Amino acid sequence: MSPCPNSRKSILFLLCRPQYFLHLNRVVEESEVRRAVLTFPAGSAGGPDGLRPQHIRNMLLSREGGSELHSALTAFVNMVLAGRCPQDVAPVFFGGHLLALNKKSGGIRTIVVGFSLRPLVSKCATSFGTKLLTDFFHPHQLGVGIPGGCEAAIHSARRYLEELPPDHIVVKLDFSNAFNSLHRFDMLSTVHSRIPDFYSYCCSAYSQPSVLFYGSHTVLSQEGLQQGDPLGPLLGPYARRGHKLVWA
């Protein structure tokens, strides 16, 4: 059985105290931070502070202070990955601007544009986390950590459809509001038991509500993964496979 909501919050509060954080065995190198900065698409939007990834890129590549910024960014990334983001700062740092986009099929798709330093940390975490989970995902999940996995799935499906026996059908399932329907308690429990190097960072990001700004309104993000977090595509399928009671 899954713990009741009050029990969940109590356990989560205890597990996310600093003394329960596990040592980050995998330290991110400067080369990885540089690579993560350069992977931001051109024109990427900035968060509430107005700092865009392009600003970080330009400063990182400058001759005057690029090397010093590079070292400082690397130290900052490792600090946040180790779960040392101050608890009073975390709700804002892991928040951002909230965008509401209309879906073609109806309904609203919410996207969070966070502070540029937050997705930078998530990109660094994802780069080595994907390698750790490739064997875990394969062959049931082909979208994350499997080079060419989606292309292979598409070609296989087309070939199967071309040779589909008369008494066979193909069913496509699409979970409604999948990212926002994940129980954070179960997700963090799965991360804690299976990929402990991620736990401190994930706990900082998802153990308490984060602040989202929508025009003049403030919304608290309290459930699920934020669409826009580069770590989301990795944690989403991992949590769904790793725990039976992840869905709300």
Q: Where are the domains of the chain?
A: 5-242
| Mean pLDDT score, 87-104 | 89
Model-level pTM? 0.74
- Average pLDDT of the chain, as a whole number: 78
> Which span out of 73-87, 126-140, 217-231 was modeled with the highest average pLDDT?
73-87
Question: What confidence tens digit (pLDDT) does each residue in 97-117 have?
Answer: 888 888 887 778 888 888 999
* 5, pLDDT greater than 50: no
How far apart are the C-alpha atoms of 2 and 12, rounded to whole Å?
A: 13
Confidence grade of residue 135 (pLDDT, cut at 50, 70, 90): low
Question: What confidence tens digit (pLDDT) does each residue in 198-210 have?
Answer: 888 988 998 889 9
DSSP string spanning 54-105? HHHHHHHT-TTTHHHHHHHHHHHHHHHHTT-S-TTTHHHHT-EEEEEEE-TT
In this structure, what token pair is assigned to residue 76?
């900052």
- Nearest residue to 198 via CA among 96, 126, 115: 126
Q: What is the dihedral of CA 44, 49, 51, 52, to 10 degrees?
A: 0
In this structure, what token pair is assigned to residue 198?
């991620």
Instruction: Give the pLDDT score at 236.
Output: 67
